[in-house]
Chains A and B, each alone.
Chain A
Amino acid sequence: MNDKLKHILRYVEKPGRYTGGEFGQETKSSEGINCRVAFCFPDTYEIGMSNLGMRILCGVLNREDDVLCERVYAPWTDMEEQMRLHSLPLFTQESGDDVASFDIVAFTLQYELCYSNVLNMLELAGIPLLSEERDENAPIILGGGPCAYNPEPVADFFDIFSIGEGEEALPELTRLYVKMKKDGSYSKSAFLREASHIEGFYVPSLYTVEYNADGTIASCTPKYPDVPTRVTKRIIKDMDTAHYPEKPLVPYLETVHDRIVLEVYRGCIRGCRFCQAGMVYRPVREKTPEVLCRQAKCAYESTGYDEISLSSLSISDYSELDSLTDGLLSWTEDEKVKLSLPSLRVDSFTRELMDKISSVKTGGLTFAPEAGTQRLRDVINKNVTEEDLFRAVGLAYSVGKTQVKLYFMNGLPTETDEDIEGIAKLAKDVLSVYYNTKERNRMRAPQVTVSVSCFIPKPFTPFQWEAQTELEELERRQLHLKENITDRKIKYSWHDADVSRLEAVFARGNRRLVPVLLEARKRGIRFDAWDEHFDYEKWMDAFSATGVDPAFYANREMGEDEILPWDVIDCGVTKEFLLRERHRAMKGEATPSCREKCSGCGANRLGGERTPCK
């Protein structure tokens, strides 16, 4: 640790965020290293350390003999202030080396609201923001993660994007880098051109985008014949053999998910029409319980964590949940290790599960009906009925639970005031289930929490063409719901609609948003995912200063034959399928899950082991 950093650490709130050296960190000797990668998470240490994907990818890179991968997180504002004051450039956790000195600087893009942090981190590293401004000496800037499915709003900042799962793709990229450096064929442009031939890599500077007079895209074409017209995402076919950090780093600071995270499967058999993750991670690929149990045990022994969280998009859809939980419980109970699950589907909520899983046993309960009426739930393909919900909460109430949390969305396509009133009614009915449950816990007052977010149309979903409801109207609906909730035992919380609007802009954005992001950087915007830093007015000023209309992206219904900014990416699911689903939605027709019946989404083309696809 250098003296400047030591000096600074006395004056920041949580110095442990910046020192690295977490338990289990291995120091790789710098000898024989031919490619150094700085892997950046554009949010705080506590959030970044909780991200399993980043740990996996750092792991696979460090497995390569001649690659060194180090971690970087966004410094919190107090640290940033000190770094700027003392001209300390952005550095990595492990070695403390300048990020700018690395060969490749990778960013994982987990949510649109992190874009301002990406630019701030580049600036703190002293790296020019725009790809075209970076010379041969600057690192290659690589992007990946869920937001890379529509990389266009940040296309000009990145040299290359990794589309889809990176476990196999990233080492292929570093190997190419090393090879070209060694045989002398390397130059930034030669490397990027060559890399565009590797499946799953998108080099935005190799495409020309032309626009129509109305601002929609006229064409997006490769500049050279050897560059692919569309980039297909990569997947890991056999999850059992995929890299899993069996000896994960153990942070000293408390992080957001401070526990062992076990990824049970990838993908989702459901087809909720608003959900991007459910579409882009297709097809489902399961791990076997044997592999999961071994990985969990190994991770426990090397970390000493007291909690294992089973993570996947809809955990109860795992076909071998019973044998997995039995396998884990065979030793976790004795070791006092808790099992936890993210929210459950109501139709899968059983007495047995409640007995097995500590988080279900002791915690409050969370369900996500998403919409207030059956009509709207059919539109969004959330195949959950009121009866399922009442049965699940009834069961929970009968074993003494009193707190239930329900997630909903406002502004879903076709939503009317009736659907909003339906949310209030559903919450009330859930409360009545409590009073009608004989064995209810009378010692504690019941509470139903209604938490409502705003619908954001996302690329690669059947709702990708929909307009987001205007801000004022969203706010009116939030208020309307508030007026309809009269019972004091029902608590109502909602997300700020202006945050969701900005997310919608960047989710469906194109390259014309680049100047807006540059303007936002000039205006000091960052940490948009944090309430205390999000400043909608400042953003709107950045839009008007650059003459870009946010409504064009957020509040416009896109045409079904319009060229969409993300059409250059192939995520497996076809546009025909998405259109079919859109039309079914408007007719209120539900679509069965992949396990009941294949709907021919196209993702089976990618292959995969232990998948419901044919």
Chain B
Amino acid sequence: MKEITTVRIKFSKEGRLIYISHLDLNRVFSRAFKRAGLPLYYSEGFSPHPRFGFALPLSLGTSSECEFVDIKLREMLTPEEVAERLAPALPPEIRVLDAYNSSVKFKTITHSDYRVKITSGNFGTDSAEAVKTVLTASPLVIIKKTKSGEKETDISPFISNVSVTSEDKTVIIDCRLAADSANYLNPEYLVKLLDERLSLSLEKDETSFVEIHRLGTYVDDEEFR
């Protein structure tokens, strides 16, 4: 069997589906491909696997409007045909936004834009200002989990384009975070940082609320496609 074509699907993930992990998402897609009857390309060998891969992991609880999956097919289908078959086979919380052929590799991705909404009864009056001060400090040292254990890391170089607005008890943060494999910054770190520095007690305060949404994915300043 030969791989004939690769189709890139851009999709969103929202609603209840934000609560499933990256591994779960793999299964969601592999079953959707089968339901859609797509002629998948399978790896050779003892237990053949369909070949497809995602651009970036998305952490549990985060929604997104810019996820990407590349699907290898063993028959020639246009991206439009793939999208048409796949869309109804996916859960309603995953929507196909675009389908095309692309040669731009996933590993060229450098940044992601996020919108982080935090609602907390423990915000002071100048909440937007306070949040901005924390996030734009340099150096900004946190304890980051890495493959080799926990490590003190200055994350200030990985954060840019920070803008903060506030409304009542809700603070909305727009920011761009490093997303290349070496310096991937999970936006949860920002929430944790703010929780600690501004004494928000997010877990205890049951009126508190956190929403994280991935808005866009970039190769330097250009939108990834």
A588 on the B face (CB < 8 A): no
Tell me the count of chain A residues lying within 8 A, CB to CB, of chain B. Answer: 31
Stretch at the interface among B30-38, B128-136, B148-156: B30-38
Q: Which residues of A contact B28 (CB under 8 A)?
A: 23, 252
Q: How far is the CA of A326 from the CA of B201 in the complex (A)?
A: 61
Q: Which residues of B contact A86 (CB under 8 A)?
A: 206
Task: From A10, A16, A306, give the contact of B30 (CB < 8 A).
Answer: A306
A398 on the B face (CB < 8 A): no
Q: How far is the CA of A20 from the CA of B91 in the complex (A)?
A: 12
Q: Which residues of B contact A7 (CB under 8 A)?
A: 206-209
Q: How far is the CA of A18 from the CA of B206 in the complex (A)?
A: 18
Q: Which residues of A contact B16 (CB under 8 A)?
A: 1, 16, 19-21
Q: Which residue of A lies closest to B31 (CB)?
A: A304
The reply to whether A301 and B27 contact each other, CB–CB distance below 8 Å, is: no
Task: From A15, A335, A362, give the contact of B46 (CB < 8 A).
Answer: A362
Q: How far is the CA of A306 from the CA of B16 in the complex (A)?
A: 24
Bitwise interface map of A from 554 to 574 toward B, beta carbon under 8 Å scored 1, else 0: 000000000000000000000
A6 on the B face (CB < 8 A): yes
Q: Which residues of B contact A250 (CB under 8 A)?
A: 31
Q: Which residue of B lies closest to A24 (CB)?
A: B91
B11 on the A face (CB < 8 A): no
A253 on the B face (CB < 8 A): yes
Nearest CB of B to A182, in Å = 36
A348 on the B face (CB < 8 A): no
Q: How far is the CA of A253 from the CA of B206 in the complex (A)?
A: 26
The reply to whether B34 and A252 contact each other, CB–CB distance below 8 Å, is: no
The reply to whether B35 and A304 contact each other, CB–CB distance below 8 Å, is: yes
The reply to whether B31 and A253 contact each other, CB–CB distance below 8 Å, is: no
B48 on the A face (CB < 8 A): yes
Nearest CB of B to A94, in Å = 11
Q: Which of B27, B46, B61, B89 has the most CB of A within 10 A?
A: B27
Q: Which residue of B lies closest to A258 (CB)?
A: B27
The reply to whether B61 and A252 contact each other, CB–CB distance below 8 Å, is: no
Q: Which of A16, A301, A302, A304 has the most CB of B within 10 A?
A: A304
The reply to whether B27 and A9 contact each other, CB–CB distance below 8 Å, is: no
Q: How far is the CA of A305 from the CA of B20 in the complex (A)?
A: 18
Tally inter-chain residue pairs, CB-CB below 8 A: 72
Task: From A4, A23, A258, give the contact of B206 (CB < 8 A).
Answer: A4
Q: How far is the CA of A10 from the CA of B30 in the complex (A)?
A: 27
Task: From B19, B42, B207, give the contact of A15 (CB < 8 A).
Answer: B19
Task: From B15, B20, B203, give the contact of A253 (CB < 8 A).
Answer: B20
Nearest CB of A to B29, in Å = 10
Q: Which residues of A contact B50 (CB under 8 A)?
A: 336
The reply to whether A10 and B42 contact each other, CB–CB distance below 8 Å, is: no
B24 on the A face (CB < 8 A): yes
Q: How far is the CA of A613 from the CA of B177 in the complex (A)?
A: 70
Task: From A11, A16, A306, give the contact of B20 (CB < 8 A).
Answer: A16
The reply to whether B31 and A19 contact each other, CB–CB distance below 8 Å, is: no
CB neighbors of A among B189-214 (8 A): 202-203, 206-210
CB neighbors of A among B46-94 (8 A): 46-48, 50, 60-61, 89, 91, 93
Bitwise interface map of A from 237 to 259 toward B, beta carbon under 8 Å scored 1, else 0: 00000000000001011100010
Is the contact region of chain B dominated by helix, strand, or loop, or is it mixed? mixed
Bitwise interface map of A from 368 to 407 toward B, beta carbon under 8 Å scored 1, else 0: 0000000000000000000000000000000000000000
Q: A1-B16, A304-B34 are in contact. Are A15 and B24 (CB under 8 A)?
A: no
A3 on the B face (CB < 8 A): yes
Q: How far is the CA of A258 from the CA of B203 in the complex (A)?
A: 33
Q: Which residues of B contact A362 (CB under 8 A)?
A: 46-47
A303 on the B face (CB < 8 A): yes
Q: Which residues of B contact A11 (CB under 8 A)?
A: 203
Q: Which of B24, B35, B48 has the most CB of A within 10 A?
A: B35
Bitwise interface map of A from 526 to 569 toward B, beta carbon under 8 Å scored 1, else 0: 00000000000000000000000000000000000000000000
The reply to whether A303 and B209 contact each other, CB–CB distance below 8 Å, is: no
The reply to whether B24 and A254 contact each other, CB–CB distance below 8 Å, is: yes
Q: Which residues of A contact B209 (CB under 8 A)?
A: 3, 6-7
The reply to whether A303 and B42 contact each other, CB–CB distance below 8 Å, is: no
Q: How far is the CA of A302 from the CA of B34 in the complex (A)?
A: 9
Nearest CB of A to B17, in Å = 7
Q: A6-B209, A9-B61, A252-B27 are in contact. Are A19 and B19 (CB under 8 A)?
A: yes
Q: Which residues of B contact A305 (CB under 8 A)?
A: 31, 34
The reply to whether B35 and A301 contact each other, CB–CB distance below 8 Å, is: yes
Q: Which residue of A lies closest to B35 (CB)?
A: A304
The reply to whether B61 and A306 contact each other, CB–CB distance below 8 Å, is: no
The reply to whether B31 and A15 contact each other, CB–CB distance below 8 Å, is: no
Q: A254-B24, A336-B48 are in contact. Are A9 and B31 (CB under 8 A)?
A: no
Q: Which of A8, A23, A258, A336 has the most CB of B within 10 A?
A: A23
Q: Which residues of B contact A300 (CB under 8 A)?
A: 34
The reply to whether A303 and B31 contact each other, CB–CB distance below 8 Å, is: yes
The reply to whether A252 and B206 contact each other, CB–CB distance below 8 Å, is: no
Q: How far is the CA of A86 from the CA of B204 in the complex (A)?
A: 9
CB neighbors of B among A454-480 (8 A): none
Q: How far is the CA of A152 from the CA of B30 in the complex (A)?
A: 46
Bitwise interface map of B from 1 to 42 toward A, beta carbon under 8 Å scored 1, else 0: 000000000000001110111011001101111110000001
Q: Which residues of A contact B61 (CB under 8 A)?
A: 9-10, 15
Q: Which residue of A lies closest to B46 (CB)?
A: A362
Q: How far is the CA of A253 from the CA of B17 in the complex (A)?
A: 10
Q: How far is the CA of A23 from the CA of B208 in the complex (A)?
A: 30
Q: Which residues of A contact B206 (CB under 8 A)?
A: 4, 7-8, 86
Q: How far is the CA of A495 from the CA of B194 in the complex (A)?
A: 48
- Known interface pairs A1-B16, A21-B16, A305-B31; 7 further A-B residue pairs with C-beta atoms within 8 A, sorted by A's residue number: A9-B61, A16-B19, A16-B20, A23-B91, A253-B20, A306-B30, A336-B42
23 A–B contact pairs at CB < 8 A? A1-B16, A7-B206, A7-B207, A15-B61, A16-B20, A16-B21, A16-B24, A19-B16, A21-B15, A21-B93, A86-B206, A250-B31, A252-B17, A252-B20, A252-B27, A254-B23, A258-B27, A300-B34, A302-B35, A305-B31, A336-B48, A336-B50, A362-B47
User: Ordered nearest first, which 9 A-B pairs have the shortest CB separation?
Assistant: A304-B31, A304-B34, A15-B19, A304-B35, A19-B16, A21-B16, A252-B20, A16-B19, A16-B20
